[in-house]
């Protein structure tokens, strides 16, 4: 959530930044609403002071003469003012709530280093890796080789649930489990503390990370409870410290977490209808950081490197892309996508998004820190990234490790987990 003070002091710059995000939001309306709040607050405070002054007058008169004729008049006037104060307090709270709700719908401002652009076509490739590992022979799509090997079962998944679900059978289930353990082991070595959070969260948690209110239609909700299936581990892990004040000396805090993720994919009708790319349920290993504001840019680059390390150990070709303003996620001020090579399609596909949110999520979730010897608290910065989306990693392995004879090699880094050289 943006700071209304920041908007007031930098109205033109904030307006321009949102336009770069293709957001048609009139920030002056927010300023006008905040002016109403300020005016109401000022009037309420003035009347409270007047009521207090009248109470003091009543007290003095009672000491001089308990039966003084003006005591009742002053009391009546004070009571009238108190009622006005109560009415103004109610108005003030309503305006505050209205302002808060409007601020919740405004996306983060792009970082100055974020490329300006209209769509994903304007994203900038930062670097590529692993060209030498790209297959040079024809490759079947991952769903085709998976079904041929009998390890991906989409038909029975539709019977059990609906489309965009899959049953992983035999070697595929083992590969999924091996990938999860491998990723977690690597991130723990890199200094991340593992957590396994709840897979259901309340509305306040989704609001804290920016999924609510804007993306409610993309999430699965339990109708009888204030609970939602998580779209990503970012939600429960970021909310671990919601409404807490952390010691600055404890930062950075780095967590990794495996969770299943659930998404309606409401805005992707007709896209990636085959295979593992866009499912309603998928597994992911997530990295989340809580850092000091002055360190978030460096920590962001380190987080990207930690995600890249998984792809490099698996020897999967990929590229790193800096998202432009028009393709930036709602809560992010800067984001790098990691895109893995899928040879059957002859293109790179997203396998991780690594975002720096600045203090945007921290303001929504009230995540603060205190520095020893300094008064007050400040909002920390949050970061997160997939490292990696497990199903998409499996896609990449089934295609990039596919041999001309139709067999699939197991990446060397995973062989200790699976105990064999070939998948089947």
Active-site residue numbers?
Answer: 263, 278, 350, 353, 392
Scored b (16 or more CB within 10 A) or e, 162-176 reads eebbbbbeebbebbb
What H or E segment, with its residue span, contains residue 337? strand 334-342
Tokens representing 99 are: 């302002």
CB contact set of 312 (below 8 Å; sequence gap of 6+): 129, 130
What H or E segment, with its residue span, contains residue 253? strand 253-262
Burial class, 214, CB count within 10 angstroms (exposed 0-12 / middle 13-18 / buried 19+):
middle
CB 229 within 8 A of CB 199: yes
418 closest CA partner among 162, 179, 143, 243: 179
Q: What is the CA radius of gyration of the chain?
A: 28
CB 217 within 8 A of CB 264: yes
3-state secondary structure 183-204: HHHHHHHCCCEEECCCCEECHH
387 closest CA partner among 210, 186, 221: 186
Tokens representing 108 are: 């983060």
The DSSP secondary-structure symbol of 422 reads B
**What separation in angstroms does the CA of 45 have from each of 4, 40, 160?**
21, 9, 62
Q: How far apart are CA 387 and CA 304, in angstroms?
A: 9
Q: Where are the beta strands (DSSP E) in 30-136?
A: 124-129
Q: How far apart are CA 307 and CA 284, in angstroms?
A: 12
């Amino acid at each position: 959530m943006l700071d209304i003070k920041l908007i007031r002091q930098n109205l033109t710059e904030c307006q321009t930044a949102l336009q770069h995000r293709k957001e048609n939001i009139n920030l002056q309306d927010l300023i006008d609403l905040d002016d109403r709040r300020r005016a109401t607050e000022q009037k309420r405070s003035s009347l409270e002071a007047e009521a207090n002054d009248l109470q003091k007058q009543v007290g003095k008169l009672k000491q001089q003469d308990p039966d003084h004729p003006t005591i009742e008049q002053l009391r009546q006037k004070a009571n009238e003012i108190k009622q006005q104060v109560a009415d103004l307090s109610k108005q003030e709270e309503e305006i505050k709530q209205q302002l808060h709700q409007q601020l919740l719908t405004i996306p983060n401002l792009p970082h100055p280093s974020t490329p300006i652009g209209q769509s994903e076509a304007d994203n900038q490739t930062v670097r590529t890796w692993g060209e030498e590992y790209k297959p040079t022979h024809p490759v079947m799509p991952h769903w085709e080789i998976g079904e041929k090997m009998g390890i991906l079962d989409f038909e029975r998944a539709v019977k059990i649930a609906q489309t965009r679900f899959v049953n992983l059978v035999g070697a595929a289930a083992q590969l999924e489990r091996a990938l999860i353990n491998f990723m977690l082991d690597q991130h723990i070595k890199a200094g991340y503390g593992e957590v396994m959070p709840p897979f259901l969260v309340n509305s306040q948690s989704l609001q804290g990370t920016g999924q609510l209110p804007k993306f409610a239609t993309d999430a699965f909700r339990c109708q009888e409870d204030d609970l939602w299936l998580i779209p990503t581990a970012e939600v429960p892990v970021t909310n671990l410290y919601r409404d807490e004040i952390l010691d600055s000396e404890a930062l950075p805090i780095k967590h990794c977490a495996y969770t299943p993720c659930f998404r309606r994919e409401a805005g992707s009708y007709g896209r990636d209808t085959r295979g593992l790319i866009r499912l309603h349920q998928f597994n992911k290993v997530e990295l989340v950081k809580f850092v000091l504001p002055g360190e978030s840019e460096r920590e962001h680059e380190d987080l990207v490197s930690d995600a890249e390390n998984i792809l490099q150990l698996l020897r999967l070709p990929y590229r790193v892309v800096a998202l432009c303003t028009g393709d930036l996620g709602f809560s992010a001020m800067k984001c790098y996508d990691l895109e893995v090579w899928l040879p059957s399609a002859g293109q790179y596909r997203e396998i991780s998004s690594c975002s720096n949110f600045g203090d945007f999520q921290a303001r929504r979730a009230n995540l603060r820190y205190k520095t020893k010897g300094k008064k007050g608290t400040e909002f920390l910065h949050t970061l997160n990234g997939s490292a990696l989306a497990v199903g998409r990693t499996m896609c990449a392995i089934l295609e990039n490790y596919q041999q001309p004879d139709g067999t699939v090699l197991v990446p060397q880094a995973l062989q200790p987990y699976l105990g064999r050289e070939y998948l089947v």
